Amino acid sequence: MKPNIVVLDGFVANSGDLSWDALARLGELTVYERTAPDEIAERCTDAEIVITNKVVLDADTIAGLPRLRYVGVLATGYNNVDIAACSERGITVCNIPAYSTESVVQTALSLLLELTNNAGGYSQSVRRGDWTACADFSYRLGAITELSGKTAGIYGLGNIGRRMARVLHTLGMKIIAFTTKSADILPPWIEKVSKEDFFGQADVISLHAPLCADNAGFINADTLRLMRPSAMLINTARGGLIDEQALASALSEGRIAGAGLDVLQCEPPHADCPLLGAPNCVITPHVAWQSTEARERLLQICADNVAAFLAGKTINKVNSL
């Protein structure tokens, strides 16, 4: 008999432009666009396999799902699932690593280029008629910064961080990293530096580390004081890496030149989020992972994970049983 499979929040990953067929072939599939916390128990009572993107599966919720054997996280991060509770129950938890590397790097680069070149601002200016009314063939809204010859600091040298480092190196930037990795295993063009040198030397800092207790608020009032007034910050990792009030103050006071953010501490943000009104701050709504190609890989790997579990050859498992 095929297992019951429930997807709790499938809309963001697949709003109808892609197919769930690969997963549907593995069981009796039900896909919900969104699921509120008080709807989980009813929707998953008979589910043996539950797929979640951001819906929280805490210990109490897991305890109320007697048939549950497998939790698939429709993402790389799995902090929304109580791993210990699943392990105690013998429930396998699998995530989807490395599906969005190229997509995230492309977004990180686009945020950086928007800060350095202001293409969006120029486009709006032209549409307002500023070029039509201009006395010269060209004009500047502000400084345009050339990246070649500048220094990029990479925090987090996983798949995405290494790829971002390679792209920026190709653009002619010097690459430094604040990392626990041994300097001996880094490419010769990545220089491992101290935390002080990392913040003090970088013209661009790009964050690619997972969020944990040790690095929450990695960007804070103290580290921002170490940065150059011309420096720019990019975050496509996790919003919790940044003290948002400290960053908003640094931007408002001109202590750093700009920030490009695809993630915030609270998503969606509250109306009083200090970064929403901060100057020289480009914010996108956590879209870095969302290219069509990346989402296609996401759904396929999700199905591959389930198929491997059903065949007794589990892959991408994040808990110990």
Cα–Cα distance for residue pair 166/238, rounded to 1 Å: 21
255 in catalytic set: no
Geometric angle at alpha carbon 217, from 58 and 257, rounded to 5°: 135
Cα torsion angle, 29, 33, 37, 38, sign? negative
Select from 275, 268, 272 the least CA-distant residue to 242.
275
Give me the catalytic one of 162, 286, 295, 297.
286
Helix (H, G, I), strand (E, B) or coil at 288: coil
208 in catalytic set: no
DSSP 8-state symbol, 38: G
102 in catalytic set: no
Helix (H, G, I), strand (E, B) or coil at 126: helix
Cα–Cα distance for residue pair 244/270, rounded to 1 Å: 12
Q: In what order do the strands lie in the sheet with 28-31?
A: 28-31, 4-7, 49-52, 70-73, 92-94
Give me the catalytic one of 238, 244, 295, 297.
238
CB 206 within 8 A of CB 154: yes
Give me the catalytic one of 33, 196, 253, 267.
267
Cα–Cα distance for residue pair 216/195, rounded to 1 Å: 15
Cα–Cα distance for residue pair 117/41, rounded to 1 Å: 50
The two tokens of residue 211 are 């969020």
Between the alpha carbon of residue 8 and those of residues 12, 25, 40, 82, 194, the distances in Å are 11, 18, 8, 16, 43
Q: In what order do the strands lie in the sheet with 190-192?
A: 190-192, 174-177, 151-155, 204-207, 232-235, 258-261, 281-283
Please give the positions annotated as active site.
238, 267, 286
